């Protein structure tokens, strides 16, 4: 199947000229939104054209079934791409899956893709991976696009300067049927991270810090535009980690303005524009970046130099502390946060006022759409090479895609992890959500590079999650307790 064009609603030199004159004062969000607006609806929403629709096995089955009931077909199969990620076992991708429900979901996805002419990134062809990992690595995700997927962490794709958000099952149906969504335009909050990160501090620490400071509901009604020296210095993979967790801060989406780092990442990718089309696309991509006179509904800034390695201690991603800090006491927090903190401490079994460093763990999980990319695995392997997984700790490394796995294998990373006592698995979401057999057991405590620490998130109703960067997970695996990875790096 031929690659989709870059988002045709907006691409091309003519568009660049027409829009370029007016876009200098607009945010990227507004520029992309306006370029994709079909019409304003009477309820105030926008009928928004969706340039790229990514689907997976969990939220698409019911949507396809509704489509079938209505006698409709997928409107733009060439803009729709499917993968299997949540339910796929990671010990082996061999069919049929032992879990009959997982096998049925996989079979249903294959059937729907076949019937509607949608490209399925098939594990047997080495194309499979987490939906938010494969879109970018294939070059499907491009600046200036509108991207939707029936998964909360679609915000990941904003790292390229796309407007990308998660949608529910009935909206998946709507996009399949019409390639459009009815949706409210968010306001834009610019979040500037200035200064320079200290060694051993990663993108994961940055976004955990932002969510800790702005709150898990602080972003409601907003798109987060990330900027500043720290963001500009980040690789695309690091920007994806930041944008991925925008939704955990309550934002509708998060994005970074496209720049030379973005263009260099995309050049030559399989499904990115090629040759002269790429140069035309770059001209458009440059033109949609927020202009110097763009106005924002809100602006906040943080000093990146002051961000420590950050770990969650509670039951939402905003409950976190720096590695050198103590777990807060109920008296330390504002009155309206006290009940939530007490609930978190009771669930997690952590002592208020105790240092987070040294908290014992049972499981270590490196993977997910937040931190399952090659650079994450490389950094974690640097730590894994320093020792052996502590006795009694189960440690898993799960690449975000089969392409990531191949690249890691070419660098010898699985051998490093295996020598240290980690299990090297096949690609999938795995223990991030535990819709496959990779689950916590009982009250196990998991050091995890994923993005959610809600009660029961990792498969056991009583399981406990400590979110942190991949290097911190690797360090915790070696020591059997939360550890400052900088001591090992």
**Range 153-172, binding ligand SF4 (CB under 6 A):** 153
Dist. CA 275–CA 322, nearest whole Å: 46
Q: Among residues 85, 137, 225, 237, which is the contact residue for ligand SF4, using CB under 6 A?
A: 85
Scanning 125-133, 282-290, 377-385, 408-416 for contacts with ligand SF4 by CB under 6 A, the matching segment is 125-133
Q: Which is nearer to ligand SF4, 174 or 438 (CB)?
A: 438
Q: Is 237 in the site for ligand SF4 (CB under 6 A)?
A: no
Query: Is the Cβ of residue 120 or residue 263 nearer to ligand SF4 in the bound state?
Result: 120
* 451 sits near ligand SF4 (criterion: CB under 6 A): yes
Instruction: State yes or no: cis peptide before 16, omega within 30 of 0.
Output: no
Q: Please list every residue from 313 through 372 that binds ligand SF4, using CB under 6 A.
A: 368-369
Which range, of 61-69, 139-147, 317-325, 427-435, touches ligand SF4 by CB under 6 A? 427-435
CB of 7 or CB of 438, closer to ligand SF4: 438
- 86 touches ligand SF4 (CB under 6 A): yes
* Residue 57 lies near ligand SF4 (rule: CB under 6 A): no
Contact between 130 and ligand SF4 (CB under 6 A)? yes
When the beta carbons of 27 and 59 are compared against ligand SF4, the nearer one is 59
CB of 269 to ligand SF4, least distance (A): 21
Site size toward ligand SF4 (CB under 6 A) is 14
Query: According to the binding rule CB under 6 A, does residue 453 interact with ligand SF4?
Result: no
Residue 376 lies near ligand SF4 (rule: CB under 6 A): no
Single out the segment in contact with ligand SF4 by CB under 6 A; choices: 33-41, 60-68, 167-175, 425-433.
425-433
Shortest distance in whole angstroms from residue 195 CB to ligand SF4: 29
Q: Which residues bind ligand SF4 (CB under 6 A)?
A: 85-86, 130-132, 151, 153, 368-369, 429, 432-433, 450-451
């Amino acid at each position: 199947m031929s690659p989709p064009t870059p988002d045709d609603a907006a691409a091309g030199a003519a568009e660049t000229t027409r829009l370029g004159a007016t876009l200098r004062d607009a945010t990227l969000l507004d520029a992309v939104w306006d370029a994709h607006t079909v019409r304003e609806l009477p309820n105030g929403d926008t009928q928004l054209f969706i340039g790229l629709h990514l689907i997976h096995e969990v939220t698409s089955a019911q949507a396809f079934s509704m489509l079938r009931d209505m006698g409709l077909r997928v409107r733009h199969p060439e803009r729709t791409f499917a993968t299997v990620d949540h339910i796929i076992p990671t010990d082996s991708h061999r069919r049929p899956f032992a879990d009959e429900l997982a096998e049925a979901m996989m079979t249903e996805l294959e059937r729907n893709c076949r019937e509607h002419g949608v490209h399925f990134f098939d594990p047997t062809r080495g194309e499979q991976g987490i939906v938010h990992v494969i879109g970018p690595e294939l070059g499907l995700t491009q600046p200036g696009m509108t991207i939707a997927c029936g998964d909360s962490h679609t915000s990941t794709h904003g790292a390229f300067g796309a407007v990308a958000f998660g949608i529910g099952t009935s909206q998946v149906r709507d996009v399949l049927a019409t390639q459009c969504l009815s949706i409210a335009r968010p306001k834009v909050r610019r979040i500037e991270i200035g200064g320079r990160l200290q060694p051993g501090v990663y993108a994961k620490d940055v976004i955990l810090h932002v969510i800790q400071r702005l709150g898990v509901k602080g972003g409601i009604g907003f798109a987060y535009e990330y900027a500043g020296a720290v963001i500009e210095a980040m690789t695309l993979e690091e920007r994806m980690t930041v944008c991925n967790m925008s939704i955990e801060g309550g934002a509708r989406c998060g994005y970074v303005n496209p720049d030379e780092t973005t263009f260099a990442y995309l050049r030559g990718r399989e499904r990115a524009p090629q040759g002269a089309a790429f140069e035309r696309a770059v001209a458009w991509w440059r033109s949609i970046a927020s202009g110097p006179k763009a106005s924002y509904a809100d602006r906040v800034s943080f000093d990146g130099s002051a961000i420590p390695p950050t770990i969650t201690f509670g039951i939402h991603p905003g409950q976190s502390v720096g590695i050198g800090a103590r777990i807060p006491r109920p008296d330390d927090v504002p009155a309206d946060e006290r009940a939530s903190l007490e609930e978190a401490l009771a669930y997690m079994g952590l002592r208020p006022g105790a240092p987070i460093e040294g908290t014992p763990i049972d499981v270590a999980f490196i993977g997910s759409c937040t931190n399952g990319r090659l650079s994450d695995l490389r950094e974690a392997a640097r730590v894994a090479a320093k020792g052996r997984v502590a006795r009694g700790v189960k440690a898993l490394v799960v690449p975000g895609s089969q392409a990531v796995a191949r690249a890691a294998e070419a660098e010898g990373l699985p051998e490093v992890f295996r020598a240290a006592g980690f299990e090297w698995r096949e690609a999938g979401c795995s223990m991030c959500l535990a819709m496959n057999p990779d689950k916590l057991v009982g009250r196990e405590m998991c050091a995890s590079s994923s993005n959610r620490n809600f009660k029961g998130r990792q498969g056991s109703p009583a399981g406990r999650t400590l979110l942190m960067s991949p290097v911190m997970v690797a360090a915790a695996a070696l020591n059997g307790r939360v550890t400052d990875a900088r001591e090992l790096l």
